[in-house]
Amino acid sequence: MNHWLESAEVLSRLAGLAAAGRPAALATVVRIVGSSYRRPGAKLLVVEDGEGMGSVSGGCLEGDVREVARGVLAGGAPRLLHYDTGGEEEVFGLGLGCRGQIDVFVQPATSGPLHEVVERWRAALAGDAAFAVATVVAGSGAIGTTMVIELEAAAADVTPAAELATDADAELRARIVAVARERLAGGRSACEEIAGHLVFVEVLQPPPHVVVCGAGDDAVPLVERAAEVGFRVTVVDHREGLLQPARFPRAAALVAARSETPDVALPPPATSLAVVMTHSFVHDREWVRRLLAAGIPYVGLLGPRARAGQIRRAIGAERDGRLFGPVGLDLGADGPRQVAISIVAQLLAVVAGRAPRHLAERVEAIHVG
């Protein structure tokens, strides 16, 4: 989910740099072994003057990656970097001890194969379907070749690349497309060995929608926090004066509607979560009723437990496990901004299928898959 948002932000910045004639390189985490702060697909955009956007680690590798990126921009070939932080000894004199191995691919981004597919990549990110981006990161040739691959599109519809012009290259492209679609069906980003090439297949799944029913002042920090972690947020309220872009600059949509309004333009229920916070018992009750009936798998309800119980009984949802009221995690939150954090934390846990607890209590790896 986070990589969808990060990719959209990085590519938007990249398009602006290209239009302004400012060279930039893109560094992408393509493989990790052991512990790592970022997962495959994490990106760092490096401009010629050293300006950066994004990250490939917790801050320990960015300095070296920036230097390599500037070398690539100065005329060097794309590079696949390998960092081993698996021991207690120092790496690059920085004293890293993350106990992991990280491979980072650095390539020109405002020219060459990546630049050729940026607009198609951005168009895919504007949609609502999963897709893959396959990049040749090592092998006998075509290093840096990048293709945007959708699940249903024919192989011939995949963005072409000048480096893959011969019959043999066309066969390689077809094999990359086939493998990428397998990865896409499985939902995981990973490197694949394909015909003597190492290809990083990044799988990008569209983030869930969050429908916030109620545009009061306490909805403002909730929408901001939910959007900044990657959710696509729709705010719904019948009070059009509150539905102002200046109040909700990061909302994907602002919808003027009541719970009884027919044909409300809401996101698909199966890929949505909802938080009801109108501060009106009647409006909250009817929005909860409508959202549950629509099939939304998670409906959070702001307010005391007794009030939530009244609404449950009123709509016959006493045993409906999709309704969470009071909404949020027990963080001792006080005030709208802290409550927003507790709600977003619960949304993240629901999406990840995790039971919230202290990370120090977790025995298994934090990032699984």
Number of domains present in the structure of the chain: 2
296 and 314 share a domain? yes
Contact (Cβ atoms closer than 8 angstroms) between residue 120 and residue 148 = yes
| 291-295: long-range contacts, CB 8 A cutoff, minimum separation 24 | 291/211, 291/213, 292/317, 292/320, 292/322, 292/323, 294/266, 294/269, 295/269, 295/270
Residue 91, in any domain of the structure: yes
Residue 359, in any domain of the structure: no
Domain ends where: 174, 204, 234? Answer: 204
196 and 220 share a domain? no
User: Any idea what the Cα angle at residue 250 is, between residues 244 and 253, rounded to 5°?
Assistant: 60
At 153 the pLDDT is 57
At 310 the pLDDT is 97
At 86 the pLDDT is 62
165 and 216 share a domain? no
Of 190, 36, 28, which is closest to residue 100 (Cα–Cα)? 36
Residue 336, in any domain of the structure: yes
At 155 the pLDDT is 42
66 and 44 share a domain? yes
Residues in the chain: 369
Residue 286, in any domain of the structure: yes
Contact (Cβ atoms closer than 8 angstroms) between residue 180 and residue 155 = no
At 365 the pLDDT is 64
144 and 168 share a domain? yes
Residue 278, in any domain of the structure: yes
Residues 35 and 12: their CA atoms lie apart, in Å, by 30
Residue 75, in any domain of the structure: yes
**270: containing domain:** 209-352
Of 49, 33, 50, 32, which is closest to residue 41 (Cα–Cα)? 32
Give me the phi and psi of 200, to 5 degrees please. -90, 120
- Per-residue pLDDT tens listing for the chain (369 residues): 678 999 999 999 999 999 999 999 999 999 998 777 788 999 999 998 878 899 988 888 989 999 999 999 998 799 999 998 765 544 444 445 456 789 999 999 999 999 999 999 999 999 889 999 999 999 887 899 999 999 875 443 454 444 555 566 788 889 999 999 999 888 789 999 999 999 999 999 999 999 999 999 999 999 999 999 999 999 999 999 999 999 999 999 999 999 999 999 999 999 999 999 999 999 999 999 999 999 999 999 999 999 999 999 999 999 999 999 999 999 999 999 999 999 999 999 999 998 888 888 877 766 544
Domain ends where: 204, 224, 242? Answer: 204
Query: At 254, which CATH number?
Result: 3.40.50.720
At 295 the pLDDT is 97
Residue 368, in any domain of the structure: no
6 and 140 share a domain? yes
Domain ends where: 204, 234, 253? Answer: 204
At 170 the pLDDT is 84
Residues 138 and 105: their CA atoms lie apart, in Å, by 9
Give me the phi and psi of 85, to 5 degrees please. -115, 30
180 and 249 share a domain? no
At 162 the pLDDT is 47
What is the value of pTM for the model shown? 0.83
Amino acid at 146: T
135 and 282 share a domain? no
Residue 363, in any domain of the structure: no
159 and 13 share a domain? yes
State how beta strands 100-108 and 24-34 pair: antiparallel
At 366 the pLDDT is 63
53 and 188 share a domain? yes
166 and 107 share a domain? yes
184 and 215 share a domain? no
Contact (Cβ atoms closer than 8 angstroms) between residue 202 and residue 215 = no
